[in-house]
């Protein structure tokens, strides 16, 4: 049980780092391409891409956390 909780926490941290890394890569890639305007466009594009691809995993993780809170409330009230 302890190992599965550790894996879920590590997975959450990896998702967070992946999103930040994606945003940084989008900004740097845009900067390398043409300057500040394309860096901002790269950042926006990376944010949209991250929301579509990695956002679904974050939503599932959030649902899991909220279900856990509901379970704990139900156990304490009974």
Query: What six digits make up the tokens of 59?
Result: 């939503």
How does pLDDT run across 5-46, given as a tens digit for each residue? 899 889 889 999 999 999 999 999 999 998 999 999 999 999
pTM score > 0.85 for this model? no
- Torsion 44-48-49-55 (CA) sign: positive
How does pLDDT run across 53-69, given as a tens digit for each residue? 988 888 998 999 899 99
| Three-state secondary structure call for residue 10 | helix
- As to burial, measured by CB atoms within 10 angstroms (0-12 exposed, 13-18 middle, 19+ buried), residue 46 is buried
Domain edges within the chain: 2-77
């Amino acid at each position: 049980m302890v190992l599965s909780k550790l894996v879920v926490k590590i997975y959450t941290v990896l998702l967070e780092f992946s999103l930040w890394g994606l945003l940084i890569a989008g900004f740097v890639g845009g900067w390398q391409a043409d300057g500040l305007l394309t860096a901002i466009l790269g950042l926006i594009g990376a944010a949209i891409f991250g929301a579509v691809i990695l956002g679904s995993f974050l939503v599932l993780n959030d649902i899991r956390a909220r279900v856990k809170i509901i379970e704990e409330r139900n156990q304490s009230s009974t």
